[in-house]
Structure 1
Amino acid sequence: MPKQDTDTDTMRVLQGLEDSRSSVRLRAALVVGTTPDPRFVGKLVERCAIEPEFYVREMLTWALTRHAPSSTVPELVDEVRSERAQARSQALHTLSKIGDRQAWSAITRALLTDSDDEVARSAWRAAVALVPEGEEAELAAVLATQLGRGERETQLSLSRALVALGEVVTPTLRAAMTALDPRVRQHALATERLLRDPDAGFEFAIEEAKRIVALGRNSEEG
């Protein structure tokens, strides 16, 4: 294909990613993912930070995963330092999907404890996906500082992250069960229940934990 035609197609796709119609942006992201080109990476990352539609953001993330990590990971690592919460959240989400452990150093304590729930949840998922072997206990200790945080959806995300780390989290959860804050104790108990019985379901586990805390018992006492 002549270079001029290629450049025209590239410009058309780039313009499509910025179109006011979400259906056009979605199609443009699909095209980029279907025919990866490093020239699109910067624009994909830029769009992730401001794209208002969830399903378009997911397509943008998919398109980024179709490119070589060598071209995407450095851009995304830069993006997790953005002042814009959506930029941080979406970059972390995409890094978790790419799964390149070279990005591990970008998952800082500041991100794992970010004041924005969406950013923190994305950081938890990314951390579990990228944590190097042997560093799971240290990660669990940081995640445990967030026990009791937020509403049910946020608590479920944290429990899932801790459970995904496996038995290494047990000592940390047991310690949290003695915390002064009843919300922390409840969340730790529910998470430990899910670790022992993944089929229990979070709603059941958290309600059971509330009863246990209200009665002043720990999990081992029943």
Structure 2
Amino acid sequence: MGDLTNGLSLKQIGRALEDPAFAPSALVGDLIRWTEDRLAREQELLERLRAIDASAPTGWQGVLRIVELMRELNSTSAARRQQAVLARSEGVSVPTELLAGAVLTESDPHVAGALRWALARAGGDGVAALDAGAHSEDVDIRRRAVLAIAEMPEAPGATALLADALGDPDTTVRRHAALALGRRGVAAAVPTLVGMVVEGSNDVDAAEVLGTLSHNPGCTDRITSALVDELAAPTADSATRIRLIQALVELTGSTAQEVLRQLAHDDDHAVALVASALVGVLEERSPQDQADEGS
């Protein structure tokens, strides 16, 4: 029957119908696929034109630059895509929708980082452009959306979207959201951050963010209690307890320090050694440091 990717003429369809071995369902199926492909290409073109229109171009140079950027972002070369983002001309407004769409589809980590950087500095409503991605059925798209939103701390609506992401079924999405929210001082991130320390996933970053959150008077006791509960859990092995101890040392307040002093006499020799060493570090801190932590 030939290749239907470019469509069939009526004459070709007539010849197919005269073939005794012809199955009508095969022709219909091929026509459906051809039509779907054509619609997808036209939808992509429509979205590109809308992205250009959204930038409110006032001259041909701006339009042509955006068209060229679109072409470069579709390159098969990751290096070329990254260069296109980093070398975009100053004074040429790049549509937020264009950058957001590229962020959500980019798989190369270096290019993705450059795109997030550009999107965070592009102005416009980048969070709104990422909203659909944050609720996509594709988990990779949701991960990219949350990472991009995390780099726009001042953008309206960013915190609300990240808070929604704390309930995402994907662990990675929840962890990205928790780190970003914790840096914003949102206490709702505490359970996820503590879980990251327990599981050993980005536990150093999680512990640092918990330390930042502990400067909020309402969070200090909550974080300390959560870490102590995990230390006493029957399933906590030596490595897990040591990670929890390292998180405790990041916290402000006297309660965490007292817990560390008690753990310096723990039955687990490795845990006791680490706790004892960290108690020594705390005691060597200057009085000014201690005053700052208690304020």
> Which amino acid is 1:67 matched to?
A
CA drift at 1:105: 1.5
> Which amino acid is 2:140 matched to?
Q
Aligned to 1:160: 208
Identity %: 17
Q: Which has the higher contact order (CA 8 A, sep 6+)?
A: 1
Write the distance in 1 (CA, Å) between the matches of 2:128 and 2:141.
Answer: 14
Structure having the higher helix fraction is: 1
5 Å-filtered alignment, 1:144-183, equals 144-149=194-199, 152-167=200-215, 168=220, 169-183=223-237
> Which amino acid is 1:87 matched to?
I
Query: Structure 2 vs 1, CA of residues 2 and 141 (structure 1 numbering), >3 Å: closer, same or farther?
Result: closer
Q: Identify unmatched segments of 5+ residues in structure 1.
A: 197-208
* 2:115 is equivalent to residue 67 of structure 1: no
Write the distance in 2 (CA, Å) between the matches of 1:157 and 1:82.
Answer: 27
Choose from 83, 87, 93 the match for 2:147. Answer: 93
Query: Structure 2 vs 1, CA of residues 121 and 213 (structure 1 numbering), >3 Å: closer, same or farther?
Result: farther
> Do the aligned partners of 2:127 and 2:149 also contact (CA within 8 Å) in 1?
yes
Choose from 158, 168, 191 the match for 1:103. Answer: 158
Per the normalisation by structure 2, the TM-score is 0.56
Write the distance in 2 (CA, Å) between the matches of 1:213 and 1:111.
Answer: 36
Structure number, greater radius of gyration: 2
CA drift at 1:94: 2.1
* 2:190 is equivalent to residue 140 of structure 1: yes
> Which amino acid is 1:143 matched to?
L
Write the distance in 1 (CA, Å) between the matches of 2:146 and 2:88.
Answer: 20
Aligned to 2:257: none
Q: Identify unmatched segments of 5+ residues in structure 2.
A: 1-56, 253-262, 280-295
5 Å-filtered alignment, 1:1-222, equals 3-32=59-88, 34-35=90-91, 37=93, 39=95, 41-68=96-123, 70-100=124-154, 102-108=157-163, 111=166, 114-117=169-172, 119-131=173-185, 135-136=186-187, 138-149=188-199, 152-167=200-215, 168=220, 169-183=223-237, 185-195=241-251, 214-215=268-269
CA drift at 1:65: 1.1
> Do the aligned partners of 1:112 and 1:143 also contact (CA within 8 Å) in 2?
no
Query: Structure 2 vs 1, CA of residues 6 and 26 (structure 1 numbering), >3 Å: closer, same or farther?
Result: same
> Do the aligned partners of 1:112 and 1:142 also contact (CA within 8 Å) in 2?
no
Query: Structure 2 vs 1, CA of residues 63 and 32 (structure 1 numbering), >3 Å: closer, same or farther?
Result: farther
How many aligned residue pairs are there? 199
> Do the aligned partners of 1:112 and 1:124 also contact (CA within 8 Å) in 2?
no
> Which amino acid is 1:17 matched to?
L
> Which amino acid is 1:140 matched to?
V
Write the distance in 2 (CA, Å) between the matches of 1:61 and 1:92.
Answer: 11
Q: CA RMSD in A?
A: 3.4
